[in-house]
Amino acid sequence: MKGFKRCKCREDGRELGASCPKLRRRDNSWNPAHGTWYGKTELPSGPGGERVSLRAGSFASQDEMTEWFDEALHLLSIPEKGPDGYEVRVQILAMIRESRRRKESLPPFDEMRRRYAAGVAFSDGDTGDYLLGWLDRHERAGDWSGTTAHSYRRTVERLFLPAFGTVPLGKLAAKHILDMFEEIDRANARLLAAKESGDPDVRRTVGQEEADPGRPEFRPRRGGHRRARPPAGDLRQSRCRDTAERKQEESHAQDQAEAVDGGAGAGVA
């Protein structure tokens, strides 16, 4: 890695950059009180032999620059060497450049290594893209039975995607999870109130699913994940189970309605 200093001094309207005479002392050593550090390092070439490099600057000291480049190169060592790891290496390189542009810390190495081992894309994406990709990978690999896969996907699509599907994966925090559980509690309270309502029309809404307009709708990125259907037999069993549970709720609600209506009629008589 080659390091050098630059500054913003100007002469005749032109920025001097690395040619500013104040950057070096009389003995030709770097002046620690002027300019900031920049670095450049060459990376493995692309499949067609094209040159790939990493440049970054505005470091306050040479030690800070060296530490940052060491950490960045450690991240770039995660994928396989050579052409096989080129695509992922370019994705990681883009994340490194973007984090520097935003003046943020580099992505944690352990997290990036886990994502690489799991086959998750390193390009910026939402949590929903990650969850759908996770489902698709396990379904294609046959890791779960059809019923289990359908159950997991149902949970992701009904709970996780509406709650935090649009949140960037790198920004997902405990607050998003807690907010989801609070929303579930509010939904359960509304359901209980509807079941216990004295209005038959309100009771008939029990079991109906309504979209929450206050939540952002999650849309997978173009060319993203498609829903993988479970085997027909497992899907029929799941649908039958859902239908039975819904009928049981409706029957329970109807019994409550008849009891309330009967009690009201007796009171009037």
Residues 30 and 65 in one domain: yes
Residue 85 amino acid letter: G
pLDDT for residue 62: 94
Residues 264 and 244 in one domain: yes
Q: In whole angstroms, what is the distance from residue 43 CA to residue 53 CA?
A: 5
Last residue of a domain, one of 94, 123, 152: 123
> Which residues constitute the domain of residue 191?
125-269
Exposure string (b/e) for 147-170, b if CB count within 10 Å is 16 or more? Answer: bebbbbbeebbeebbbbbbbbebe
Residues 104 and 164 in one domain: no
Last residue of a domain, one of 66, 92, 123: 123
Residues 233 and 152 in one domain: yes
Q: Give the confidence band of 261 by pLDDT, cuts at 50, 70, 90.
A: very low
Exposure string (b/e) for 256-266, b if CB count within 10 Å is 16 or more? Answer: bbeebeeeeee
Residue 35, pLDDT > 50, answer yes
Residues 154 and 34 in one domain: no
The secondary structure of residue 29, as a DSSP letter, is -
pLDDT for residue 218: 57
Q: In whole angstroms, what is the distance from residue 149 CA to residue 228 CA?
A: 9
Most confident range, picked from 39-43, 128-132, 214-218: 39-43
Residues 165 and 188 in one domain: yes
Q: Which helix (H) or strand (E) holds 4?
A: strand 2-11
Residue 147, pLDDT > 70, answer yes
For 136-156, what is the mean pLDDT? 91
Last residue of a domain, one of 123, 152, 169: 123
Residues 135 and 194 in one domain: yes
Exposure string (b/e) for 58-90, b if CB count within 10 Å is 16 or more? Answer: ebeeeeebeebbeebeebbebbeeeeebbebbb
pLDDT for residue 117: 80
Residues 130 and 109 in one domain: no
pLDDT for residue 240: 52
Residues 130 and 100 in one domain: no
| pLDDT tens sequence across 190-212 | 888 888 888 888 778 776 544 44
Residues 102 and 183 in one domain: no
